[in-house]
Structure 1
Amino acid sequence: MTQNIAVHGTVAEGFEAVREEFAALVAAERDDYEGQLCAYVRGRRVVDLWAGEDGAGDALYGVFSATKGAAHLVAALLVQDGTLELHRKVTYYWPEFGAEGKGELTLRDLLAHRAGLVGTDAGFTRAELADDRVIAEHLADQRPFWRPGAAFGYHALVIGALTGEVVRRATGRTIQDLYEDRVRAPYGLDFHLGLPACAAPRFRSVQPLDPTPEQRALIAARPTGPHTLEAIAFNRHAAEATDMERLYEDPRIRAKGPASVGGIASARGLARMYAAMIGEVDGKAPLLKPDTVAEFGRVHSVGYDLVTRDHRAFALGFQATADLWHPFLGAGSLGHSGANGTQAFADPRAGLAYGYTRRRFGHPAGAAPENDALARAVHRAALGAG
């Protein structure tokens, strides 16, 4: 527990308390901490902080499930265009999906994690997990693990492939291609679904963090047999079981950017994407209209999650961030966390977009606990700047 890690970057006037909160986090961490925090308010970048080794300010990290935010921004754009319709059955776009009693599921319920299709009986190989089309082919034939629409559970490794196949059938293009052309390139985002060679030198591998004795006890006490829904959803039952900490070691994941868990980003890229989603950025029009933001931010599934076996709240493709993580945020806030501690969201009512990521993979996986204090400080400053 030593520290002397320098905090770098800038904050706008009125956001000094955010820097203090970030500095307090860094001071309390081990001397190998590396992370980034960025925020926008009404299209203006007001926080840009980082700490860690040389180059940490421009580093790119695997952001795991925060990828789902980028993937479902594409889905929201297509709904806004009229290319996709939420009330349509999935089979309207993807006829093969109807096998094994899935024919009545709507696109709305699919996006809300209600398909009952969290994985396959046999699981996926490492190569298959990198390829959304292959995942989708296997899922089309899979019997659902609960009656579609009757309950919800986190489709951790497959929701992007499911959404992606609907997108591909409707447009002839992948989510990754549409994201690049309509979102990443026009808005200059450092958030990639498929890492280009020019950005590869800035990628930092995951730094595993051993669990504390308390965390080990909690992990040991949790019933996680090899055939539970949780094991199936996280592909731990497969012959090539998935180790999330090592996911980005596979070059196929980095290259293909699977839409559930394969994104690579900086905090700047995360925050800027959500800023562009809800408002003007550098004179460019918002990606989404207010009605679309409201529809995709509305809670659709809330309560007991059959996979994670705890309280969860999902909007359409996004997590309902205020209901799940940060209750001080405005109603309709939407975003997605990542297993390494990443958190990213938009609070449309405050005009706020937030991105935090770090190199470390902690326990339990998911939004890192420090996000609560950081997001609270950013939100308070954003309201003061309003």
Structure 2
Amino acid sequence: MSSAPNGLHQYPIVQAPMAGGGSCPPLAAAVCEAGGLGFLAGGYKTADGMYQEIKRLRGLTRRPFGVNLFVPQTTSADPAAVEAYRGQLAGEASWYAVSIAPEDTVGTCDDGYDAKLAILLEDPVPVVSFTFGCPPAEVLTALRRGGTRTVVTVTSVEEARTAQSAGADSVCVQGIEAGGHQGTHRDDPHTDGTAGVGLLALVAQVREAVALPIVAAGGLMRGSQIAAVLAAGAEAAQLGTAFLACPESGADPLHKKALTDPLFAHTELTRAFSGRPARGLVNRFMREHGPYAPAAYPQVHHITSGLRKAAAAAGDPQGMALWAGQGHRLARPLPAAQLVEVLAAELAEAQSALQMLKMRSAS
């Protein structure tokens, strides 16, 4: 059996782990039951919160699924820059009548990583993926001994080589088109993240650099796009924004509606909401505060958390983090199982057309 996650399910379709509420047991279960690989997002949850979601998902499906973890951040933020951004957001706090979290309550940089990893080692799940870095070889080996396949998110050839050297079973190659956070192993505070590589080019580069199976991610919304990344060398495709619009998704209804709302015409990478480059629909908050946001993850995430929740409660998408990939206008609000079936049919049609072209050119 292949070491790629698609060896665990019928279709080469993976539902991306979307931290912050988008990924949830009902969505993951529906994708798994339809023949894809559903994922839970361990990020921004307590260890117990993650475990409770795993238990709930196991009650909804007996099929394989995955859990994603955020690798702890090793870089330190500039306290002065964080404090300056806190001041920058004072007007938002006043407008929504909420308080910005004080400095000593903005959380740590490890996201409860050790406790979550301990749970996954004690009670293994089929797949565990990692974002924001590559765990050491001993961690990947320990997971493999428990029967878990490991995936490391990479955004460059160098990161892919690191994952291979550490013993990852496969890599999730994330192109610049992807919605949400860029999964870079190191966040360079001197860049805005826009120098990333497009998915098709990156898949081809990684395919030639490492021997690991590839899961391709970034802006994929149609079965024909899945066919393209498979033809480029990937074993499976990971889709996030496409599943965000599904009724089973835990995303806020305002977020789902915004994906196809003409008011939100395009996406950009920004540090405005979390302190790390992440792609979302351009709104007022991003325009007004993005230029001033420091490279300070997860400090900025915690500082803006109350503001984002208040904006959602007020029904104001202009103050929310509307994560979305570049293909967001192609979102279809279909039930997750139906979306998997539609994507699989589109994939089969595209592959059939490609095969006919090959036959014609050979004759």
TM-score class normalised by the smaller sequence: under 0.3
- Higher relative CO (Cα under 8 Å, sequence separation at least 6) belongs to 1
TM-score of the two chains, using structure 2 as the length reference: 0.25
